[in-house]
Amino acid sequence: MADIKQIKDKQDEKLKGKSDEEKALAAARRAMEEMRSKRHLKEPDQLASGKSDKNGNMVIEELTPEDEIDIDEENNKDSK
């Protein structure tokens, strides 16, 4: 994880003043590299994520300030 962060920080520095196309491509390349390195499990054949209402319909979930969380804080809570 630290390696990926370092790569990202270096890339961010290099990408200052670059076009959106260049930024998107650099991020996509970095993400693809990470996917390859973490490709350990077979993807489930049936795969979905998202919220349904009681009738099984897709819903537009309301966004709240609680949506913004401190990831590290939440990680610590979950690991306790």
Closest C-alpha among 2, 25, 4, 23 to residue 14? 23
Q: Does 7 bind another protein (CB under 8 A)?
A: no
Interactions with another protein, residue window 14-53 (CB under 8 A): 20-21, 23-32, 34-36, 38-41, 43-52
Q: Give yes or no for residue 3 binding another protein (CB under 8 A).
A: no
Q: What's the rounded Cα separation, in Å, for the pair 26 and 11?
A: 8
Cα angle 43-67-16, degrees, rounded to a multiple of 5: 80
65 binds another protein (CB under 8 A): yes
DSSP-derived 3-state class of residue 65: helix
Interaction site with another protein (CB under 8 A): 1, 8, 20-21, 23-32, 34-36, 38-41, 43-52, 56-58, 60-61, 63-69, 71, 74-75, 78
